[in-house]
Amino acid sequence: MVNEWRDRWREGRIGFHREQIHSSLVRYWPLLGVTPGTKVLVPLCGKSLDMRWLGQHDHPVLGIELAPEAIEQFVAAGAGEISRYRQGGFDVCRQGNVELWCGDFFHFHIEQAAEIGAFYDRAALIALPPATRQRYAFHLAQLIPPGARGLLISLIRAPGDEGGPPFGVAAEEVRELFEPNFQVTHLEDGEPEPGRGFRESVWALVRRGPSV
Ligand SMILES: C[S@@+](CC[C@H](N)C(=O)[O-])C[C@H]1O[C@@H](n2cnc3c(N)ncnc32)[C@H](O)[C@@H]1O
- The answer to whether 137 and 121 are in contact (CB under 8 A) is no
C-alpha 47 – ligand 1 centre gap (Å): 9
Write out pLDDT tens, residues 132-183: 999 999 999 999 999 999 999 999 998 778 788 889 999 999 999 999 999 9
> What average pLDDT is seen over the chain?
94
pLDDT at 130 over 70: yes
Residue 108 lies in a domain: yes
Residues 6+ apart with CB under 8 A from 212: 146, 147, 183, 206
Residue 212 lies in a domain: no
* Confidence bin at 114 (pLDDT 50/70/90): confident
Residues contributing to the annotated binding site: 9, 44, 65, 122
Domain of 121, in residue numbers:
2-207
Q: Whose CA is nearest to atom 24 of ligand 1?
A: 5
What is the percentage of the chain residues whose pLDDT exceeds 90? Answer: 84
C-alpha 211 – ligand 1 centre gap (Å): 32
C-alpha 123 – ligand 1 centre gap (Å): 7
Write out pLDDT tens, residues 184-211: 999 999 888 777 778 999 999 999 997 5
- For helices 130-143 and 171-178, the axis angle rounded to 10 degrees is 40
List all residues whose CB is within 6 A of at least one atom of ligand 1: 5, 16-17, 44-46, 48, 64-67, 70, 104-106, 122-124, 127, 165
Point out the ligand 1 atom lying closest to the alpha carbon of residue 165.
Answer: 1
The pLDDT assigned to 180 comes to: 97
C-alpha 63 – ligand 1 centre gap (Å): 10
Residue 70 lies in a domain: yes
The pLDDT assigned to 113 comes to: 79
* Confidence bin at 94 (pLDDT 50/70/90): very high
C-alpha 93 – ligand 1 centre gap (Å): 16
Residue 10 lies in a domain: yes
Pocket test for ligand 1, best of 6, 66, 169 (most atoms within 8 A of CB): 66
The pLDDT assigned to 191 comes to: 87
Our count of domains for the chain comes to 1
Q: Whose CA is nearest to atom 15 of ligand 1?
A: 44
CA atoms within 13 A on the CB side of 28: 23
Sign of the alpha-carbon dihedral angle for 14, 19, 21, 23: negative
Q: Whose CA is nearest to atom 13 of ligand 1?
A: 44
**Identity of the residue numbered 59:** H
The pLDDT assigned to 211 comes to: 59
- Residue 165, sorted as left (phi over 0), alpha (psi -120 to 50) or beta, turns out to be beta
Q: How far apart are CA 38 and CA 118, in angstroms?
A: 7
Residues contributing to the annotated binding site for S-adenosyl-L-methionine: 9, 44, 65, 122
Residue 23 lies in a domain: yes
- Assign residue 40 the CATH number of its domain: 3.40.50.150
What average pLDDT score do residues 49-65 get? 97
